[in-house]
């Protein structure tokens, strides 16, 4: 087991949050976290990368427990996770290579290692030929691929994807899904939050439903 949310309740100051969330993930698993907008999917992901903390229950990510983790340990946890967002969260003022390398630079990696790993991650998402392009020169699908390359460059054991295809056309969305499937096939666990029921209706993967802050399955 690499991830566990146990009787998690979480309340934001505006009263919204999670009522009761329970689920676990095993190593290398691909899980869809599905629910309508506002159900609490993003909050679950934030709890996993410990941007937010439960008001009751606990979150266990590998050996890091939300009840005991110290502030200075959170960056170390995040280096083991890959996070992808619907709006990509790329740095517009840097080129593709620098966006991906950035995740390594902040971990004080060596130059040689940064170059090697960055080029490998870009090859993985099929963007080696665009490494010196600026972000605004890329299509939406390409930008999301840069975000995926940045997420995997540190070789995480799990990818957290928050509506990664939400801003993309169906064809590009399929491309992104194929990349996530490929990464999963290589052993990286994937937890993908989505409100696209069509997508999950045709999958053989495990689906965790969330509604009004409660997990249903």
Partner 1 sequence: MIANLVFFLKEGIGGLVRTRVAGFVATITVAISLVLIGIFLIITVNLGRFVEHLRGRVELEVFLDDSLDEQKIQELADKIKRFEGVENLTFISKEMAIYEYKNLFKDQQQDYFEALGYNPLPASFRIKPANDYRNAVGAEKVFKYLTSISGIEEEDIVYRREYLVLLEKYNKVAIAMVFFVGSIVCLSALLLVSNTIRLIIASKQRIIETMKLVGATRFFIQVPLYIQGIVQGLLGGIIAALFLYALIQVASIGLSGFIKVDWRMYLLLLNFGILLGLAASFAAIRRYL
Q: Which residues bind partner 1 (CB under 8 A)?
A: 49, 72, 75-79, 81, 83, 89-94, 102-103, 105-111, 150, 154
Q: How far is the CB of 161 from partner 1 (least distance, A)?
A: 13
How deeply is 150 buried, as exposed, middle or buried, from its count of CB atoms within 10 A (0-12, 13-18, 19+)? buried
Report the residue number, 77 or 174, with the smaller CB distance to partner 1. Answer: 77
Contact 122, 96 (CB under 8 A): yes
Report the residue number, 9 or 80, with the smaller CB distance to partner 1. Answer: 80
Contact 56, 8 (CB under 8 A): yes
Q: How far is the CB of 28 from partner 1 (least distance, A)?
A: 22
Q: How far is the CB of 202 from partner 1 (least distance, A)?
A: 31
Pick from 54, 149, 139: which is nearest to 100 by CA? 149
Report the residue number, 39 or 103, with the smaller CB distance to partner 1. Answer: 103
| CA distance from start to end of the chain | 17
Report the residue number, 41 or 78, with the smaller CB distance to partner 1. Answer: 78
The two structure tokens encoding residue 90: 């790329």
């Amino acid at each position: 087991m690499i991830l566990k949310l146990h009787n998690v309740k979480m309340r934001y100051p505006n009263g919204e949050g999670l009522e009761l969330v329970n689920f676990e993930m095993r190593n290398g698993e691909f899980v869809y976290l599905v629910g309508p907008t506002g159900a609490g999917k993003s909050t679950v992901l934030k709890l996993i990368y410990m941007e937010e903390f439960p008001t009751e229950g606990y979150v266990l990510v590998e050996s890091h427990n939300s009840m005991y983790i110290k502030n200075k340990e959170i960056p170390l946890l995040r280096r083991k996770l890959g996070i992808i967002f619907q709006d990509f969260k790329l740095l517009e003022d840097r080129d593709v290579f620098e966006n991906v390398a950035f995740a390594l630079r902040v971990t004080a990696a060596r130059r040689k290692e940064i170059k090697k790993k960055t080029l490998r991650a870009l090859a993985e998402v099929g963007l080696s030929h665009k490494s010196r392009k600026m972000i605004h020169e890329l299509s939406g699908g390409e930008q999301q691929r840069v975000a995926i390359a940045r997420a995997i460059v540190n070789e995480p054991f799990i990818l957290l994807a928050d509506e990664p295809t939400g801003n993309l056309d169906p064809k590009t969305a399929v491309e992104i899904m194929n990349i996530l499937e490929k990464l999963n096939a290589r052993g990286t666990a994937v937890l993908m939050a989505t409100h696209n029921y069509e997508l999950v209706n045709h999958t053989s993967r495990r689906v965790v439903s969330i509604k009004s802050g409660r997990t249903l399955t």
